[in-house]
Amino acid sequence: MRLLLVEDDMMIGESVLDALRGEGYAVDWVRDGVLADSALRTEQYDLVLLDLGLPKMDGLAVLKALRARRETTPVLIATARDAVSARIQGLDAGADDYVLKPYDLDELSARIRALLRRAAGRAEPVFSYGRISLNPATHEALLDGDPVALSQREWAVLEALIARPGMILSRAQLEEKLYSWKDEISSNAVEVYVHSLRKKLGADLIRNIRGMGYMIAKEPAATALPTPRRDSGGDVHAPDDADGGGIGGDGGGE
């Protein structure tokens, strides 16, 4: 997920930036309202953390301009604890929620996760897709109930796709979820992460739509039970692979 942090205080901005990147988000940080407005006009973000007291253009004006363009990007405004009127103005101008300064970073993370769930049309806190479960709060991935170790960027690719089953995401769209402005992007990074996810979670999970991008099927495939074989005497035996070969295959399609 890619977030825009709009904060003019260097100390606060650096601590929040480190915390959000530690949670696995790609974060762009700007320090005034004009830069924030420009970023929101040219980039796609999953969420904006917006301070209201900004130089050059105040946060309320940034928010109003965003909503005037009919952009639905979730906005979490940051206000001082005693600025009740500012919170009301922000919510009435189209903000989705607010968080109080000084930040409690655990609360900030929880509010961000809640807004991202709402934007994705989900109420439940855990993604469930067939045999796979993802918990954004803990970054735990499970396959058939067993933990699967994923890197932060493998997680980001999987979360982006599994949150939108049936939707094709281009390589550029996935890169936007993975990288902030300052990150160096290798030409085949997305392909590498997809390849690794297929090895860990199943070759058929992520489909390569040639010339368009990647997707996860709208509905998970039913898990077929292996067909028992019969010998010439009619006795039933377990299939040759019933003792469970591992999930394998690199998925091809690259």
Average pLDDT for residues 24-30, to the nearest whole number?
Answer: 91
Instruction: Give the amino acid at 117.
Output: R
Closest by CA to 96, choosing from 63, 141, 121, 124, is 63
**Residue 224, Cα to own-chain centre: how many angstroms?**
30
Categorize the per-residue pLDDT at 136 as very low, low, confident or very high, splitting at 50, 70 and 90. Answer: confident
48-68 per-position pLDDT tens digit: 999 999 999 999 999 999 999
Q: Burial-class residue 194 by CB neighbours within 10 Å (0-12, 13-18, 19+).
A: buried
- For residues 21 and 222, the model is more confident at 21
Q: Is the pLDDT assigned to residue 235 strictly greater than 70? A: no
Q: Which of 6-15, 81-90, 220-229 has the lowest mean pLDDT?
A: 220-229
- For residues 46 and 181, the model is more confident at 46
182-226 per-position pLDDT tens digit: 777 777 888 999 999 999 998 889 999 888 999 998 887 765 333
Q: Is the pLDDT assigned to residue 125 strictly greater than 50? A: yes
Strand partners of residue 79: 100
Q: Is the pLDDT assigned to residue 253 strictly greater than 60? A: no
Q: What is the spatial distance between Cα 190 and Cα 87, in angstroms, rounded to a whole number?
A: 39
CA angle 13, 186, 3 (to 5 degrees): 30
- For residues 152 and 35, the model is more confident at 35
Q: Which CATH architecture has domain 2-119?
A: 3-Layer(aba) Sandwich (3.40)
- Write out the residue limits of the CATH 1.10.10.10 domain(s) in the chain: 124-254
Q: Is the pLDDT assigned to residue 163 strictly greater than 50? A: yes
- For residues 114 and 181, the model is more confident at 114
Residue 156 to residues 56, 97, 132, 233, 251, Cα–Cα distance (Å): 34, 24, 15, 53, 19
Q: Which one-letter DSSP state was computed for residue 225?
A: P
Alpha helix (H) residue ranges in 93-223: 105-119, 152-162, 171-178, 189-201
Q: Is the pLDDT assigned to residue 11 strictly greater than 70? A: yes
pLDDT recorded at residue 247 = 33
- Write out the residue limits of the CATH 3.40.50.2300 domain(s) in the chain: 2-119
Closest by CA to 205, choosing from 126, 150, 152, 244, is 150
Contact, 155 vs 24, CB < 8 A?
Answer: yes
Query: β-strands 97-101, 47-51: how paired?
Result: unpaired
Q: Is the pLDDT assigned to residue 3 strictly greater than 90? A: yes
Percentage of the chain exceeding pLDDT 70? 86
Contact, 58 vs 36, CB < 8 A?
Answer: no
List the structure tokens of 175. Answer: 């890169």
Average pLDDT, whole number, for the chain? Answer: 83
Residue 212 to residues 127, 168, 172, 189, 230, Cα–Cα distance (Å): 25, 7, 10, 16, 45
pLDDT recorded at residue 222 = 62
Tokens 């402005």 appear where?
181
Q: Which CATH architecture has domain 124-254?
A: Orthogonal Bundle (1.10)
Q: What is the spatial distance between Cα 7 and Cα 114, in angstroms, rounded to a whole number?
A: 21
Q: What is the spatial distance between Cα 36 and Cα 51, in angstroms, rounded to a whole number?
A: 10
List the structure tokens of 125. Answer: 């806190």
> Structure pTM?
0.71
